[in-house]
Structure 1
C-alpha cells in the first residue's frame, strides 16, 4: 500500500480523521456494542524475552571478529522487557486499532548495545456505505539496527522508521473495483557514519480488479516511488506495472501472484539504473484442519544500505509448515533460501562489487503454547547462514529465544 509524502510522522491531512477516531473511542462507546455485550477495548500487556545468539555481529569467524572489534568472542545473551497497550474499537462501520509497545533490551557481554525501543502502530479501517472502504494509519519504530542488515560496523546504531499511509477501494460494480493508495516512509540512523543512508520514500499505487463470485480476483496495477537520501548520489525514482492474481483454487488452496515490469532510475548516477521483471508467487494449502503449508517463490529488487552497492536482485524460495497440535499448542517450521546479486556502485573509485553474490539460508522452528487465554509462551530456534564469493560476506549463526507475554 502507498505512502503519504509529508515530513511529519502524521501529516495534517491525516491528523484530523485520526483525532476524530480517538475522540470517538472515548466518547462513542454506545455506538460500538450494546452494554450487554462486553468488549475488550483496552488490553494492557507485559512481556519478557531471553535470547542467545552465537554470532551476534554476524562475523565470518573469530579472526574476523578480533580484527574488526578487538574481541574474538562471537556470542551473547540478551534480555528484553516490554510493556504495551492494544486498543481495538468498533465505531459503527469503522474500526480503530492501536498498539503501543515500549521495551528495554540489555546484553550480558556487549552492554554498550543496551537500548530502549519504541513501537507505535495505528490504523483506522474506514467504510463509506457498502462499496467504499480503506485504511488510514501511521507507525513509528525505534530499535537497534540488526547486524545482519548492516554489517559494516559493530557500533550501537539505533534507527527510526516512520510511516504514514492511506488507501481505499471502490467497488463500483458487483464484479469490479478500483483501488489506490499512498505511503510515506522515513528511515533515519543515529550513527554518524550511516546517516548518508537516511531516506524519505514516497510510493503511490493505483489498480483495477475483477472480482469473481468465488472471491478470486484478477487485476493490474501501476506504481511510482521516489526516494530521497541524505547523500543525493543514492536518489532514485521507480516505476512499475504489474499483474495481480488472487485465486481460491479450492476451499483449502489459494494462489497469489504479483509481478511485472520494474524500472529504477538514479538522478545523478545512471550507471546504477535497473530495468527488468519482478514477481512473487505465494501458494497456501490447508492439508487438514490442523496442518497448513505456505510456499513463496520470488524475484525482487531490494534496497541495500551500503556505499559499495546500490541494490540487490533477490531470487528466493521459502516453505513454511504450521501445525495446530491443540487449541493451546502450535508449531511452525520455516526454510528459506535466497540468492542476492549485487549491482555495482561505480561512483566509488577502486571499488568493484558487480560480481558479488550471496546465498542466504535460514531454518527456524517456532513453538507456541497458551496455558491460559491471556498467557502465551513462545520458543524460537533458528540457524542463519550466508555464503558469499567475498570472504567478508560469509557467516553462520544459531540462536534460541524464549518469550512470554501476559495480557491483562
Structure 2
C-alpha cells in the first residue's frame, strides 16, 4: 500500500492533464486585400477545443519535459477549413558529471497555415517536424565549448502550396566565457542548408530554391542587474542559392532582446532583428526581414495580469530579375495586441485578447495591402 501511494503521488506530480476552449472573431480571416470587391465574405468566427497533458519528470540529474495536445477547430462560415490539430513536443535535458550537458528533443505540429501570404479559402494544413540535439563541455569553470544540430521539416496539404515543402538543417559550434555574475559572452559559427523538395515555376522558368547560409555571430547573455537582462545573437551571414545567384545576399544578421523590470508588478521587453526568413508564397520563398517589437506586462493583482505589445516588420523579398530593381520589392506589416488574464484558482485561467494588423504589400511579390482586427477568448483548466 505504501508503494502504491508513493507511485500515485509521483504520477500526479509528473503528469498534468488539461482542457481548454477558445473563441475567436476575425473581421478579415483570409487577409483579403483592400482592393477586393464588395460582397466577398471577410469575417468569421472560430471555436477551438483542446485536450492534452504536460509531463515533467526528473531522473537523477536528467529532466524530461513534454506536452501532447489535440484540438478541434471549427468555423461558422468557412467550414471547409475545419480541422483537427496536433501538437507534440518533448525534451530531455541531460547532465553527465559536472562538465557535460545538453538537450535531446523533438516536436510534431499540425495546424492551419496562416493566410497572410496566401488568401485561399481552401484548407491548407502545415505539418512541422523538428529534431534537435545539443552538447556542451565545460572544460574550465569559466569556459565552455558547445555544438548542436537541428532539423526542421515542413509539409503542406494544399497541392499548390507544396512548392514550400522543405527540409532545413542547422549545424553550429561555438564557445562561451562564463562570468561569475551569470552573464555569458561567446562566438558561434553556423551553417544552414535548405532543401526544397518541389521546384517552382516563375515566368515559365523552373526555379530551384535550395540554399546554403553561413554565419559567424556573437552570442551574449548580459545580466546587467537584477532587473535588466540583454540577449544578443548577431553577426555576419551569407546566403547563397544553388541556382540563380542574383538572389544571393550577405551582411549583418541577428536578433537582440532586452527585459527590464524596474517595478515589482510592471515589466517591459523589446526586441529588434534583421534576419532571413522563409515566405509561404507561390511567387517568392525568401525574404530579409527587419523589425522591432515592444511590450509590457502588468501584474495588477495576484490573479489578474494585463499585457500590451506593438510590432513592426519590413520584409524585402528576393529579386528574381534585376530588371525590377527600381520596383518596391518589400512589404511592411504593423500589429498591436492587448490582453488580460484572470486566474481565479491555480488550476484555471481565463483570458481575452484584442488584436489589430495592417500591411502595405508589394505587388512584385504578390503581397497584398490589407487590414484585420479581432478578439479571442480562452478558458483553460488543469487537473
Task: Measure the CA separation in 2 of the matches of 1:173 and 1:139.
Answer: 33
Change (3 A) 1:132 1:109: same
Q: Trace 1:156-171 onto structure 2 (pairs within 5 A).
A: 156-171=123-138
Task: Measure the CA separation in 2 of the matches of 1:249 and 1:96.
Answer: 31
SS in 2 for 1:195: helix
- Of 41, 45, 49, the match for 1:73: 41
Matched, 1:403 2:371: no
Change (3 A) 1:216 1:281: same
SS in 1 for 2:28: coil
Q: Trace 1:102-121 onto structure 2 (pairs within 5 A).
A: 102-121=70-89
- Of 225, 235, 258, the match for 2:233: 258
Change (3 A) 1:307 1:50: closer
Change (3 A) 1:88 1:354: farther
Task: Measure the CA separation in 1 of the matches of 2:8 and 2:360.
Answer: 60
Matched, 1:139 2:89: no
Q: TM-score, normalised by structure 1?
A: 0.86
Q: Residue 279 of structure 2 aligns with which residue?
A: 304
Q: Residue 285 of structure 1 aligns with which residue?
A: 260
SS in 2 for 1:404: strand
Change (3 A) 1:367 1:189: same
Aligned length: 371
- Of 38, 42, 66, the match for 2:15: 42
Structure 2 stretches of 5 or more lacking a match?
Answer: 200-207
Deviation, 1:121, is 0.7
SS in 1 for 2:123: coil
- Of 98, 121, 138, the match for 2:66: 98
Q: Residue 197 of structure 1 aligns with which residue?
A: 164
SS in 2 for 1:271: helix
Task: Measure the CA separation in 2 of the matches of 1:110 and 1:250.
Answer: 51
Q: Residue 64 of structure 1 aligns with which residue?
A: 36
Change (3 A) 1:130 1:35: farther
Change (3 A) 1:142 1:29: farther
CA contact (8 A) 2:90 2:107 kept: yes
CA contact (8 A) 2:169 2:194 kept: yes
Which whole-Å deviations, capped at 9, do the CAs of 1:170-202 have from their partners, x for residues lacking one?
Answer: 111111001111001110001111111100111
SS in 2 for 1:305: coil
